[in-house]
Every structure is written in C-alpha cells, then in structure tokens.
Structure 1
Amino acid sequence: MDTEALRSFVRAAELGQLRHAADELGVTQQAVSKRIAALERELGVRLFARTARGVEPTPDGQAFLPHARSIVAGVERAVAAVRPGSRALRIDVLGLRSAQAVVLHDYWRSRPGTALDVVTLRVDDPRVAAAAVEAGDVDASFRTVVAPGAARPGLRTVRAFDSPLELLVGPAHPLASARELTPAQLRRHRIWVPGIAPRSEWAEFYDQLATAFDLRIDAAGPHFGDEVLLDVLAGSADVATLVGARDRYVWPAGHDLRRIPVVNPALAYPLSLILPGTNPHPGLRGVIAHLEGLPGLPGRVWLPSWATTPR
C-alpha cells in the first residue's frame, strides 16, 4: 500500500480540502486526487464524498482513517529512527573504561541533552572498524590510524587526542615507590601486555615503543581480562604493565596498585576519529569541537612514527 497515498488521504480528511492537503504536502491537487483514487481502487470503497465546502470522509473513510493515521505515524517514526540527526550518535570505542569513553563522557556531561550511543565493536583490526563506519553500523570509531594516507576512499580521519601512558605496578615491585619514571628507567623490567593481537592497532605501537627505548614488552599468553591482569600485578614483584592515563581501572583496596606517570619524554598513544567523508552525523560536529579543545600534552612527548605531528 502506497504510504504517500495514505498520507494524502489522512491530510485531506483532516483539512477537508484536497487543495489544502496538496499545499501542505508540496504536490499538486491533481496528484492528491490521483493518489486517493488509486487508494479507493485498491480498497474497493469510496473514501470521500464531495461537499460544498470540499470533501468529507464517507462511513468507510471514517472507519479507515484511524488505521491510516497509525500507518503514517509508524512510517514517520521508522524514518526518524535512522535519519542522521534524529537518532542517537553512535560511536565505537575500544572499551567502556578506555580513554575514548572517558573523553566522550566528559563531552556528554558538558551537553547532557545529547543523544549519544557509545558502543564497542570488539574488533582488533582497525580496518574492520573502518569498514563498520563505511557500512553505517556506527557513525564514527576511535582508533589509532597507523597509515593515515591509506584511509578508505569514503572515509576521513580526524586527529582526536594523544593518550599518555602510565606504569601500573603492585606494591612489591621495585619501581612502586617512584612518583614518576623516565623510559630509560623502565629498561630491563618486564612490561606485560598480554594478548597483543596480530594486525591490531596496538601491535605496531608496542613494536615501535620497544625498539625506541629498548623496552622488554612481554605479550605472552592470552588476555583473560583486566581483573586477572590486576590480580597478577598485585601479587608480583617483577611484573608491570602500561595503561592510559585516562583509562579507568578499578581494583580491590588490598591490591594497593600504583599508577606512575612516564615523563621525559611522555609516551603517548595517538588516537584518531574515523568518520564518513560525506554526510556525517550532525552530532559529530560537537564531538570534534570538543576534541579540538582538549589541551595538548606538556613537555617532551614520544609518538610513533605515523603520528609524529603534534595534535
């Protein structure tokens, strides 16, 4: 059944004039008449009777009107649910406790009326996340883009922010009492980053980091989740890991874990926002403006080779 014919019938019934319905719908009166005539043929009944003042629904038209209204309203709700700007802005982050989620939460708190849907695609390969943006599964994705010049033709990237790293250790670790550390002081210490997946965005980052500062990055074993990692750190005198300064971690008070900034230079994980090259969700303008307003990192900063231009 033609929804435009239904819409024409509903407005004509409500306004009592085919001409007024045509003006409101932005079509000719003849087009409205043809739509209603086609609808009457399909239903096998007359929907309107002519009067001196215009038209009024017949008994069949009166019976049909509430159902037609319901169908038209349902179609309008369905269209609004997928129209950019009418639905919630959908952004992919690496995890709901990640620095990206924290930054988005700060943005939402500054604009609490914003319709925002924060999701995690749970994919390691940033190219898969880019494909999800291109397909419209999400409106944007926070990723580190290793090859900025090799972006998919229908997409673009915006440099989001650089996330400084901290060393996370248990109370028995020899570096636990430090207030800050330089990369040189991390040498010879085991930095455990379990489950670095091949082709993941962080695999190349840690390869360059280890080479640049002669660090011992240990990726042995599967990643059984943050809780297991935190348990291991709490009971170990020789295992440490690196975490983002904005990343949220929660552990039992008895773990007594320490987060220690790394400085001179700070070690930064660069993040970009992948979004469509054309017709992006209107809500992305506010997010991008918020990202542009974030302060840069003070002092000396190390970045991997693909992100050496400061934000």
Structure 2
Amino acid sequence: MKSFSRHRRLRSGENIRRMVREHQVSPDDFIYPLFVVEGSGIKEEVPSMPGVFHFSLDRLNEEVDEVVELGIPSIILFGVPEDKDACGSSAHADEGIVQRAIRQVKERHPDLYVMADTCLCQYTDHGHCGVVENGEIVNDESLRVLARTAVSQARAGADLIAPSNMMDGFVTVIREALDEAGFPHIPIMSYAVKYASAFYGPFRDAAHSTPQFGDRRTYQMDPANAREALREAASDVAEGADLLMVKPGLAYMDIIHQLKENFHLPVAAYNVSGEYSMVKAAAEKGWIDERKVVLETLTGLKRAGADLILTYHAKDAVHWLTNRA
C-alpha cells in the first residue's frame, strides 16, 4: 500500500489529545461583564439574556463574591443610570452609578481587577455614544465628555479604562486626561475595532442604550471592512493604547488574528450579547449541547489570537473547565 500520513495517531485517546492540544482556555482568560442599576433590592434577569442580571448596589456584592470565589480575575462594569440627558453628564458624576460600584467592589475585593466601560450611550437620552448637535454625533465635543468620564472612573478606583465609543482620537484624549489627573499608571484597553453589528441587540436591552434615532454606522465600523480595522488599531497603538479589543468576536475571528499578527499588544475579544443569547436560546430548545458549544467558541477565540475574552459565559465556563458541581 502506498505510504501516507497517519495523523490519527495523535488523536487516539483523551490523554494524548490533551498533551498535544495547541490552545487552552483558562479562567485567567476571562473578563466578566456586569450591569449595575439604581435602586435597591434589584436582581432582575435581562429578558433577552438568560442568566444575566441587572444588580442594584446592595445586591452586587453577592455576584462579585461568586466571581472572586470562582477565580475569575476581572470584571467590566456597565452602568444604567436613573437620569439621562443630551450630553450624558451622569457618566462622569462622582456619585454616578458606575463610580459608586467601582468604589464598592474595590473596597470589598481590592485584588479583583475592575475595568470601567467608558462610553455615553447608556447615559444619553438619545442613546448615542457621543454628544449630538443638529442631529449629528459630533466628535470633538464628545471627546471632552469621555475624558471627564475616564478620569472620574479612575478616581473612583478603576484599574483599567475601556473606551468603547469609537470617536476619532479617543485614546489620545483619554490618555492625556488620565496623565494630567495623576493616573499615568492606569492602562487603556481600546475598543479599537468595534463593528456596527447586529449582534449587539440583547446588550441594548441590558444597558437601555438603543439609539432613539438613526444608527451608529457613522462611528462604528462597516462589517465588510478588514483593512480599515488595521488602520483603526494602528491609530490607537500610536495614541497610547495598552491593549486592543475586537468586538464582536465570532464573526470577526479573522480580524482578531490580523491584530495579533500585526501588533505587539495583548488582544481582547468581546464574545458579545447576541452570540451569548443565540447559544442560550438553542440550548433551551435542546438543539445544542451548551457546554460543548461554549467551550468550543471560547477555544476558537483563543485560537484566533485572543489573549483575553470578555464573555457572559465566564461563570459557567469556569465550572465546566474546573469540573465544579
């Protein structure tokens, strides 16, 4: 018989498959998103995101305690304020919902790495990620508000600022503001490549951030573009970003890989709400094995080049990876 390669030799049993496995998913990879709201006694499930909740501050500790107990090293906080206005002024209030949440979490768990999402969409009455003038999202005025927001979050105790607004120049302006305010040690994880994606629908349900007019295509990226992603990332690297993020994750694994190949910074992937909710819906129908699909998805993001993964699956994934009950 003609000689041929026998690749199956290294797939013959679980032990050898584990030994030669090229990529591993670990709890150390995860950043867990949390949504905090005003009020008291609130732990309400987001209707379109089974297993994801709004927490008032008096209920937040129980969730954060579980995150810490599971060994998840980091959370990212999203705030849903009671009062919104045209310029998102509550985003940078010293007693804003995220600022209070940061202080509370850091006081209870000083070693937990707390990231703050820096955007305006949850805080504006029009739902856009920047300031609106004459029906247009204006760039430079938005930067001023975002810089104030980043400084207020750092002052509250955030370990990292994660700007998700996609305004031109946001890394430069936020870096300068942090440095001038005495926070040169606080890193920036730039949402460097954030697409105008249909996968964000459930998040807007969770963050109460649906635009009240138009859409976000003048500042978020066209899903058809790849070279543009490299330009966006290169700008953020030059402006002082410490980490780069691609959002969403699954439909953009090629972009994750390109960033990993082209830049010498850690790359994060956001396994976004729509990706999460599709898995949850199919699992509830009994159409897929949730555990296997989630772990395969997370492994795929790692294989593409993600060093860090923001995922709503984080708690479940830790249970599955560590064989917890």
TM class by smaller structure? under 0.3
Bigger proportion of residues as helix: 2
Scaled by the length of structure 2, the TM-score of the pair is 0.25
Pick 1 or 2: higher relative contact order, CA cutoff 8 A, min separation 6. Answer: 1
Task: Please identify the structure whose Cα radius of gyration is greater.
Answer: 1
